[in-house]
Amino acid sequence: MEIRSHRFRVVDILLLCGVILPPVLGMVIKILTNSPSGGIEISGARIYFTLDLPFQSLPITEAQVNSWLVVISIFFLCLYLTHGLAVKAVTKRQLLAEWIVKTTENMISGNMGDYFIKVARGAFAPFVAGIMALSAFSSLLSLLGLYAPTSDINVSAGWALLVFILITYYKMKCGLPHYLKSFAEPVAFLTPLNVISEVATPVSMAFRHYGNILSGSVISVLVASALQGLSSMLLGWLPGFLGDIPFLQIGIPAILSLYFDIFGSLLQAFIFAMLTMLYVSGGFAIDDWELLQAKKKQKLQTQQ
């Protein structure tokens, strides 16, 4: 029992290292590749190197690297939370894991309907929980001074494109003719507007998420810089090194960080997951699908 307990603790430590080391590696990479700057610098993700591919070059950016670091951290966090599961929860980590699963399934059942409850355990619960965790942890990287992948439109657009494929899949479950016919509803002359609305779905999801995260980062940097200049102007007369200390920067940027970096990041992750559930369930014509399944079943019984 003692040997097993010792091995259990060793595995726990290794899993926690797997959670912590990726963001630490990200900070090391930033320190080694960051060039000194003399003032405010608001720019996109830095390009580390470029891969020459047959069709076009593929730049490996800071956003891509940080995204993979977040994925690795979440992977080991899931392994840590599910390590040593028992039939009856006796550890806080198992209680937390069960709470995450139940909360996600309740969200799906409350927003997506009875059909999606049946497939929630196998498909949608992990997907929704994964996309929320990936979004939240990616945005929270800014607390460590790292570039948040959600501040890159390419990352948000990739997620939105994945969701759009999922939406289209469920819209086409009743068949391609039914999907194409839906563009002419309720009247045919609205078809162009319906097509534009279909294309606008992933675009709006990507820009909403990206814009809210990026705007929070920009506002925080601008306010911190303005407070530094204001502190120098009002308190620069203090003798010695005291005049160089930006006293007005103490406290206020931290409060802004609580809102933009923590509350805003978690809120945008929740909104993106909610939109995913609503768009997928709203695009699935459940009544038509059930009618189609009933016709197929009746036809099969007739043939038999």
Per-residue model confidence as pLDDT tens digits over 213-249: 888 777 777 777 777 777 777 666 666 666 566 656 6
List alpha helices for the chain, DSSP H: 2-33, 62-81, 92-112, 114-119, 125-140, 153-171, 176-181, 191-235, 252-257, 264-283, 286-303
Average pLDDT in the chain: 82
Please report the pLDDT score of residue 70 as a whole number.
95
User: Which of the four pLDDT bands, split at 50, 70 and 90, describes residue 284?
Assistant: confident
In a domain, 221, yes or no: yes
Which of the pair, 72 or 145, is modelled with greater confidence?
72
Question: Mean pLDDT throughout 137-141?
Answer: 89
Please report the pLDDT score of residue 15 as a whole number.
93
Which two tokens mark 95? 């209680």
In a domain, 228, yes or no: yes
Please report the pLDDT score of residue 2 as a whole number.
47
Query: Which region among 1-10, 41-50, 88-97, 283-292 has the lowest average model confidence (pLDDT)?
Result: 1-10
In a domain, 244, yes or no: yes
Residue 167: give the domain boundaries.
2-26+58-303
CA 234 to CA 232: how far, in whole Å? 6
| Total domains, the chain | 1
In a domain, 38, yes or no: no
Please report the pLDDT score of residue 41 as a whole number.
60
Residue 14: pLDDT above 60?
yes
Please report the pLDDT score of residue 238 as a whole number.
66
Please report the pLDDT score of residue 120 as a whole number.
46
In a domain, 53, yes or no: no
CB 191 within 8 A of CB 183: yes
Which of the pair, 185 or 164, is modelled with greater confidence?
164
For the stretch 20-52, pLDDT in tens is: 999 999 989 888 887 655 555 666 778 888 888
Please report the pLDDT score of residue 6 as a whole number.
85
Residue 126: pLDDT above 80?
yes
User: DSSP class of residue 58?
Assistant: E
In a domain, 121, yes or no: yes
% of residues, the chain, pLDDT over 70: 86
Q: How many C-alpha atoms does 169 have within 13 Å on its Cβ side?
A: 7
% of residues, the chain, pLDDT over 90: 20
Which two tokens mark 216? 């929070």
Beta bridge partners of 291: none
For the stretch 252-282, pLDDT in tens is: 666 777 777 788 888 889 999 999 988 988 8
Residue 1: pLDDT above 60?
no
For the stretch 61-87, pLDDT in tens is: 898 999 999 999 999 999 999 988 888
In a domain, 43, yes or no: no
In a domain, 220, yes or no: yes
